[in-house]
Amino acid sequence: MNHRPFEDWLLDDQPLTLEQERELQAHLRSCPACSAIAESNLALHSVRTVSPAAGFTERFQTRLVQRRQEQRWRQIIGTLILVLGGLALLAWLAGPAIQEVLQSPAQWLTTAVSYFLFILTSIQALSEAGSVLMRVIPNFISPADWLGMFLMIVVIGGLWVVSIWRVTRVPQGV
């Protein structure tokens, strides 16, 4: 059987004239080989139309980007809510102190400074006490002396803390 023009027409997938189309249909009815080609052509066409439409990948990507942006926004909003909630809780907890600070900033500043100095002098005193101990230990002092020294340190430390506390404490209602 001669498939010559029909096979080419089918494989080239060219637009045919009505006359050619009629000849082709007649040939296809009698030729299984060419009708197989025609069928595969049809299948290819349908695959082409069913397969991702033009721009599908782009649309998918933009949707992905959109979703990612939404996620980011949700994260930002979530973080904001968390931070604001935390601040509100903090304000509620520290409300009285903040009120005090706002009412008398100068007083609060002096208190803060004196507390800072207190911590500083504490560190200094501790290091000094440490160096004294290091110097004293090699002399093998008796347990009684140890106890006396310990008590003295406690008493002096207590007096010192109390005096600092009384100095930093601002009298109320003045």
Is the Cβ of residue 3 or residue 153 nearer to Zn ion in the bound state? Answer: 3
Q: With CB under 5 A, what is the number of residues at the site for Zn ion?
A: 3
Give me the amino acid identity at 37: I
Least Cβ distance, residue 10 to Zn ion (angstroms): 9
Residues 53 and 7: their CA atoms lie apart, in Å, by 29
CB of 20 to Zn ion, least distance (A): 14
Q: Is the Cβ of residue 21 or residue 128 nearer to Zn ion in the bound state?
A: 21
- 3-class DSSP state of 54: coil
Distance CA 63, CA 58 (A): 8
How many other C-beta atoms lie within 10 A of the C-beta of residue 34? 20
Q: To the nearest whole angstrom, how small is the minimum distance from the Cβ of residue 37 to Zn ion?
A: 8
Which of 3, 122, 153, 157 lies at the binding interface for Zn ion (CB under 5 A)?
Answer: 3
Tokens representing residue 93 in the block:
């907890």
Footprint on residues 9-38 left by Zn ion (CB under 5 A):
31, 34
34 near 10, Cβ under 8 Å? yes
Smallest distance, Zn ion to C-beta of residue 71, A: 58
| 157 contributes a contact to Zn ion by CB under 5 A | no
Cβ distance to Zn ion smaller for residue 29 or 59: 29
Contact 31, 3 (CB under 8 A): yes
User: Looking at the chain, which runs of residues are DSSP E strands?
Assistant: none
Stretch that binds Zn ion, among 3-11, 84-92, 113-121, 144-152 (CB under 5 A): 3-11
Residue numbers of the site for Zn ion (CB under 5 A)? 3, 31, 34
